[in-house]
């Protein structure tokens, strides 16, 4: 429903030293119409040009400190509200590749009244400024 708002294409930037980036980050919003507890986010799958990046290199920051995806599983006291911007950071030597590439994010969410996970997907063609 709100999938087209998940990735903020203008927010993609490299992290670390400008001459030797150690990764990249981008801003994201929840693709679900209600806020959820961070422990209900089962996965945030990031890919570039169809290449899935390992779960272990992805972190999430809702403005209250970065968490690995494994740490999010027990973040019972934190919520991701609808419309709130969060930052996803990916540890990747060299950062985001030069030129235009397709950045994709899939949010797999556990919603209390659904008997199956909710999947929200967005893909944008982006480049680092």
The model's pTM is 0.93
Q: Per-residue confidence at 74, pLDDT binned at 50, 70, 90?
A: very high
**Is the pLDDT assigned to residue 1 strictly greater than 70?**
no
**Is the pLDDT assigned to residue 81 strictly greater than 90?**
yes
CATH number of the domain that 87 lies in? 2.60.40
**Is the pLDDT assigned to residue 78 strictly greater than 70?**
yes
Q: Which residue in 53, 63, 62, 64 sits closest to 103, CA to CA?
A: 53
Angle at 5 between CA 2 and CA 48, to 5 degrees: 115
Report whether 127 contacts 101 (CB < 8 A). Answer: yes
**Is the pLDDT assigned to residue 93 strictly greater than 70?**
yes
Instruction: Render pLDDT for 37-52 as a digit per residue (tens, 0 to 9).
Output: 999 999 999 999 999 9
- β-pair partners for 119: 108
C-alpha 77/C-alpha 85 separation (Å) is 18
C-alpha 104/C-alpha 115 separation (Å) is 25
Q: Per-residue confidence at 33, pLDDT binned at 50, 70, 90?
A: confident
Give one DSSP letter per residue of 80-113, joined into a string.
E-TT--EEEEEE-TT-SPSS-EEEEEEEEE--TT
Range of the domain at 120: 3-126
Residue 129 has what pLDDT? 72
Does residue 16 come out as left (phi exceeding 0), alpha (psi in the -120 to 50 range) or beta?
left
Mean pLDDT of 70-99: 96
What percentage of the chain has pLDDT greater than the value 70?
A: 99
Q: How many CB atoms within 10 Å of residue 22? A: 15
Report whether 104 contacts 89 (CB < 8 A). Answer: no
Residue 117 has what pLDDT? 87
Q: Which helix (H) or strand (E) holds 69?
A: helix 69-72
Total domain count, the chain: 1
Q: Per-residue confidence at 3, pLDDT binned at 50, 70, 90?
A: confident
């Amino acid at each position: 429903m709100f999938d087209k708002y998940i990735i903020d294409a203008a927010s993609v930037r490299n992290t670390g030293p400008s001459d030797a980036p150690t990764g990249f980050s981008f801003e994201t919003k929840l693709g679900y119409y209600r806020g959820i507890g961070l422990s209900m986010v089962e996965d945030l799958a990031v890919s570039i040009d169809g290449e899935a990046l390992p779960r272990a290199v992805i972190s999430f920051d809702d403005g209250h400190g970065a968490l690995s995806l494994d740490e999010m599983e027990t973040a019972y006291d934190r919520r991701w509200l609808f419309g709130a911007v969060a930052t996803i950071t990916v540890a990747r030597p060299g950062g985001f590749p030069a030129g235009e590439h397709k950045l994709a994010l899939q949010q797999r969410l556990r919603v209390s009244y659904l008997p199956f996970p909710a999947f929200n997907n967005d893909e944008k063609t982006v480049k680092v400024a």
